[in-house]
Chain A
Amino acid sequence: MSTHDHGHDRPQGDVALRGAGGTVGAAGVPARFEDPGLEPHRPRRSDLDPKAAKRAERQTVVLFGVSILGTIVFLAGYFLLPLGSSEAILRSNLALGLGLAFALLGIGTAAVHWAKSLMSDHEVVDERHPVQSSPEVREIAVKALQDGVADANVGRRGVLKGALAGSLALFPLTIAVPLIGELGEDWDVSKFKHTWWKAGTRLATDPDARPIKASDVTIGSVVHVIPEDLEEAEHVLDEKAKAIVLLIRLDERDLKPLPGREGWAYQGIVAYSKVCTHVGCPVALYEQQTHHLLCPCHQSTFDVSEGAKVVFGPAKRPLPQLPIEVDSEGYLVAQSDFTEPVGPSFWERLK
C-alpha cells in the first residue's frame, strides 16, 4: 500500500508537534505551535558547479560591456546626428535615449546578476532590540533635562517665560505679513465682476479681431468672439480670460428668451460667456441639433435655446448672456458689459 513507502516509525502525534514546547495545555499539548526555526539553506547552481559560477561571471562581464557600448552609441548619436526637422529630432531622441538606456541597464543588470549568482546567499540573522531606550538611559535623559531646567533658573519666572513665548510667536509676522500682503498685489477682487465689454464694443473674431456683421452669421453656426479692442487692455490675457464669448445663431423659432432678456438677442443671434460657471474652462463644444454647449472639462452642458441653463453636469448656473445689438454699419456690438460676474462662483459674487 502506498502509505508504506517510507520506513517510518515515528508515532503520528509527533508529526504534528515536533519541536513543540511552550505553554502546555490541559491535555499535555502546547497552546500554540512553536517556530521550527530557519529552513535549511539550499545551494544555488553556481555554488555547486564551478562551471555555472564561471558562466555567471562571464555573463556579468558581458552586461558591463553592453553598458560601455550604450555610452558609445549615445556619444556617437550626440556628435553625429543633426537636429532641425521633426524627424531628425525624433531620430536623435531615439538614438540618445537607447544609448543611455543600455548604458544604465547594462550596469544595473550586471550588478544585480553578480549579487544574485556570485555573492554569498547565506541568510544572516541579526537581533532586534526594543526601539525604546533602556531604563537606565531614560533615567539619565530625564535627569539631564531636569538639571537643565534647574540650571536655566526659569522655574518660577512666569513673566519671563511668557515674554519668551510671545516674542517667538510674534516675530514670524515680520516675514509673513509682507509676504502675504504683497502676494495679491492690489487685492482688488471686484475686478472679477467686470469685463472688457462696454456699450458699443464690437464683437470680433478670436483671435484675429475682425468685427462681425450680423449678416455673416448663418443659422447653426458658432463664432468664437473677443472684444474688438481687446489688444488695448493693459493685461490682455487677464481680460481675455473674462471676455471670451460664444456667438451662436439659432432659428428664431427655437429661441425661448428669458423674461427681461427679450431684447438681448439679434435675429436669433445670441452671445454667451464662454467661461464655464463651474470652475472656468472654456465651454467650447456646440451640438447643433440639440443647441447644447458642452464644457469639455467636466461636461457641464448648457442649453443655448433656453438662456444657456444647465441641463447636465456639475455647474449650477447658466452661462451669463451678453446683450447685443447691431450698430449703424451692421456690425454686432455689446449693449453693455455682462450684467453678472462671469466664470466660477465665489463667496461675494452677488454682493
Chain B
Amino acid sequence: MTTTTTTPTRTGRAAAATADYLDQRTSVGGAVKEFARKVFPDHWSFLLGEVALYSFVTLLISGAFLTMFFVPSMAETEYTGPFATQEGLHMTEAYASTLRLSFEVRGGLLMRQIHHWAALIFMASIVVHMMRVFFTGAFRKPRELNWVVGFTLLILGLAAGFTGYSLPDDVLSGNGLRITDGVVRSIPIVGSYLSYMIFGGEFPGTDLIPRLYTIHILLVPALILALIGLHLLFVVLHKHTQFPGSGRTDKNVVGYPLFPVYVAKAGGFFFVVFGVLALMGATMSINPVWNYGPYDPSPVSAGAQPDWYMLFLEGSLRLMPGGAEVVIAGYTLSLNVLIPAVVVPGLLFSLLALYPFVEAAVSGDKREHHVLDRPRNVPFRTAFGVAVLTAFFVLVLAGSNDLIATHFRMSLNDITGVLRIAFFVAPVAAFWMTKRICLSLQRKDRELVLHGHESARIVRFASGEYIEVHKPLDEHERWLRVQHEAIRPLEIEPAEDARGVRRKGYRSDALKQRVSRWFYEDRVEPVTPAELVAAHSHGEHDALEAVPVEQAPQLTGGGRHLVEPTDPDAGDRRA
C-alpha cells in the first residue's frame, strides 16, 4: 500500500501513513481490495432504493433532534406559551411539548416538518422501489430472500409511520388510535384483551404514548437499521442486477466502480435527497397539530386524512358494507371490520411476500438471474402486478371518497357504490389489458427485428410499385429485443409410470402445471436467426421480382418492405 512510484505530495504521504496505521491494526486492506472497485450498474430506477435509504438517514438525523425536546407523557398540563388560541387549554405533556418544539425551539418546526416529509417520501420510495424490483423480476433466484428482507422493511416502515403519527396526541392522531382500538376489538375471542394490552386498560388511558415512543424511537428503527444492513449485504453479495443489453449477461456485471464514481454519485445523492426534504420542510406545512387541538374523544373534523400509506386501510374500511357483522351463539363476529382491516390487507401483503416463491415453483426455473426482465416479456407477472396496484389504488381512492365527493360535487354514496364494484372489476380489467399490451409490445419488437425501422423514404420501382425503405436494426438494438427466453408452461411427468403405478406427488405437480399454464400459456417467442433469414429472403423475392437484377444484392427487404442495409458498426447512426 505504500509503494508509490511518483514523488508523493504531503497529503498523499499523510494518507498513506494513515492507511498503513489502520491496516496494521484492522487488515482493512483486504476490505478495500474487495470493495473499492466493485462494479455497480447504472440506471435511474436503481436510485429508488437509495432514496429510501437516504430518507431513512434523514429520519434518523431529524428524529434524534426531536427526541431532545419531545416529552412522551400523557400527564395532563395546562398550556402557557406564545400560541394564544391554546392558552389555558388542558392537554397532555406530549401535545404541549410538540407545540413548544414548533414555536419556541428555533429550527424545531423545520425539523418536525423535515421528519414528517421524510417519512412520507421514505414510504413512497420503498413502494416504488418494490415495484421496480417486482416488474423487472429482480426478486428471482438468488434474490428471493432479499425480497423477503425488503418486504419486512416495508412492514416495519408502516409500523414506524403509524407509531410516529400517533405521538403528538392531537385530535387527528387520537382519532387514528381510536380506530385502531375499534379494529383490535373486532378480533375474535382475544380482541378486548388485546385492546387492554395495547392501551394499558381502557382507551385512551395514560400508557399509550410512552409505549408508542419506545417502539417508535428504539425498537422499530433498530430493526430497520439491522435489516437495511442485511439488505445491502445481500446486494453486495449478489452484485446488483443489470438491465438487458449487449455485453450484459448473467455471468458478468457492467457498470462503474464504487470508488470513485459511486462514492461521489451516491454520496452526492444523499445530500440531494436530504436537501429536497429540507426544501419541503421549509416551504410546505405538514401536520400543523396546533390547528387540530389536543386530543379529546369528542370533536372530530371531516375531511381529515391519515398519511397516504394508511389511506388504503381507511378506504378498505369505508367500502365494506356493514351487514357483514354476525352474532354466533351470542358472540359477536365483526366481519364488517375484520374483513377490510385484517383480511384484505393480509391477503394483499401475503401475495406480495410470497410471489417470488410462487413464480419459482410454476416456472420450474432454478437458474440464477442477474439480467433483469423487460416487463413486457413477462406478461403474466406484469399484469398481476398492475392488478394488485389497481386494487390498492381503488382502496386509496375510497380512502379519499369524501374529498372526491366535495371536490367534484358528487354523491358520496354513489362514489362508494362504484368503488365497491371497482374493487372487484378493476383489477381483473387491469390484468387483462396489461397482458394484452405486453403481448402486443412483444409483437412490435418482433416486427422491428424482422423488418427494421420505417425510414419514411418511399421508393418507386420501375414496375410502378411503391415501397417504403426499411432500415434494419443494428445488432445492439436487435439484441435487446431477442435476448430473452419466453417461459413455457411446466411439463410434468405422467400420472403413472411405465408399469402403470400411480406416481406420488402427481397431484401437486398437476396443480403446479395448471397454474403454470395460466402464467405462461400466452406468450410471444423472440425472433430466431432462422426467422430473420426467412423474412429477409422473402423480402428479397419481392425485390427480385420488382427491380433490375444488378440492384438486387443491395436490397434486403422484409415482407412488403425494402430494407436499407446499413453498416452495423455505425452505432451512433441509430434512429
Interface residues in chain A, defined as those with a beta carbon under 8 Å from any beta carbon in chain B: 1-6, 8-13, 15-20, 25, 27, 29-33, 35-40, 42, 78, 83-86, 89, 92-94, 96-98, 100-112, 114-116, 119-121, 123-128, 130-131, 180, 183-187, 189, 191-192, 206-207, 224, 226, 235, 237-238, 240-242, 244, 274-276, 278-282, 284-285, 296-300, 310, 312-317, 343-351
Contact = CB atoms under 8 A, between A and B. Distances in A.
Contacts of A33: 478-479, 482-483, 527-529
B394 to A, nearest CB: 15
B197 A125 contact: no
B255 interface: yes
Given A4-B551, A116-B265, 6 more contacts: A104-B278, A124-B255, A185-B207, A235-B202, A241-B203, A344-B182
Interface in B377-431: 401-402, 412-413, 416
24 contacts: A4-B554, A31-B528, A35-B249, A35-B479, A37-B247, A97-B279, A105-B275, A105-B276, A124-B257, A180-B197, A184-B197, A226-B298, A240-B296, A241-B297, A274-B298, A280-B179, A297-B317, A312-B413, A314-B319, A344-B334, A345-B186, A345-B337, A347-B187, A350-B330
B157 interface: no
Nearest to B327: A350
B101 to A, nearest CB: 11
Residue from A131, A242, A297 with most neighbouring chain B CB atoms (10 Å): A297
A97 B261 contact: no
A109 B272 contact: yes
B407 to A, nearest CB: 16
B253 A19 contact: no
A297 B300 contact: yes
A188 B142 CA distance: 51
A40 B571 contact: yes
B136 to A, nearest CB: 17
Interface string B180-196: 01110111111111011
Interface in B161-206: 175, 178-179, 181-183, 185-193, 195-198, 200-206
A351 B189 CA distance: 12
Nearest to A7: B554
A104 B274 contact: yes
Given A241-B297, A350-B330, A3 B317 contact: no
Contacts of A13: 533, 536-537
Contact of A125 (B39, B332, B412): B39
B80 to A, nearest CB: 14
Nearest to A239: B202
B192 A97 contact: no
Contacts of B553: 9, 11-12
Contacts of B272: 104-105, 108-109, 112
A97 B318 contact: no
Interface stretch (B17-25, B353-361, B436-444, B560-568): B560-568
A345 B325 contact: yes
Contacts of A281: 175, 178-179, 300
B564 A279 contact: no
B251 A346 contact: no
Contacts of B340: 314
Contacts of A114: 264, 268
Residue from A33, A274, A310, A314 with most neighbouring chain B CB atoms (10 Å): A314
B102 interface: yes
B530 A27 contact: yes
B322 interface: yes
B325 A125 contact: no
Contacts of B302: 284-285, 296
B271 to A, nearest CB: 3
Contacts, number: 399
Contacts of B282: 93-94, 96-98, 100-101
B194 to A, nearest CB: 9
A111 B196 contact: no
Interface in B457-488: 457, 459, 469, 472, 475-476, 478-479, 482-483
B160 to A, nearest CB: 21
Q: Which size class do B's interface residues fall under?
A: 35 or more
B107 A96 contact: yes
B322 A278 contact: yes
Given A31-B528, A104-B271, A298-B318, A36 B278 contact: no
Nearest to A132: B142
B33 interface: no
Contact of B182 (A121, A131, A279): A279
Contacts of A18: 475, 568
B475 A316 contact: no
B342 interface: no
B275 to A, nearest CB: 3
Given A185-B200, A315-B322, A282 B551 contact: no
A149 to B, nearest CB: 26
Residue from A40, A103, A189 with most neighbouring chain B CB atoms (10 Å): A189
A343 B565 CA distance: 77
Interface of B: 37-39, 82-83, 102-104, 106-107, 109-110, 113-114, 142, 175, 178-179, 181-183, 185-193, 195-198, 200-207, 237-239, 245-247, 249-257, 260-261, 264-265, 267-276, 278-279, 281-283, 295-304, 314, 317-325, 327, 330-334, 336-337, 340-341, 368, 370, 401-402, 412-413, 416, 457, 459, 469, 472, 475-476, 478-479, 482-483, 527-530, 532-533, 536-537, 540, 551, 553-556, 562, 564-568, 571-572
Contacts of A284: 299-300, 302
A66 to B, nearest CB: 11
A35 B556 CA distance: 22
Contacts of A9: 553
Contacts of A86: 83
Contact of A107 (B271, B324, B568): B271
A172 B295 CA distance: 37
Nearest to A351: B330
A6 B238 contact: no
A86 B556 CA distance: 75
Contacts of A96: 106-107, 110, 282
Nearest to A32: B528
Given A16-B533, A100-B278, A93 B113 contact: yes
B479 A12 contact: no
Nearest to A111: B268
Residue from B281, B302, B322 with most neighbouring chain A CB atoms (10 Å): B322
B109 A89 contact: yes
A111 B264 contact: yes
B82 A83 contact: yes
A231 to B, nearest CB: 11
A128 B565 contact: no
A123 B276 CA distance: 30
A196 B336 CA distance: 28
A39 B476 contact: yes
A186 B331 CA distance: 23
Contact of A36 (B246, B413, B536): B246
B256 A108 contact: no
A241 B300 CA distance: 13
Given A107-B271, A346-B192, A2 B459 contact: yes
Given A15-B472, A40-B571, A3 B554 contact: yes
B196 A126 contact: no
Contact of A29 (B109, B479, B530): B530
B318 A115 contact: no
Contacts of A38: 246-247, 254
B156 to A, nearest CB: 21
A299 B420 CA distance: 14
Given A15-B568, A241-B204, A108 B271 contact: yes
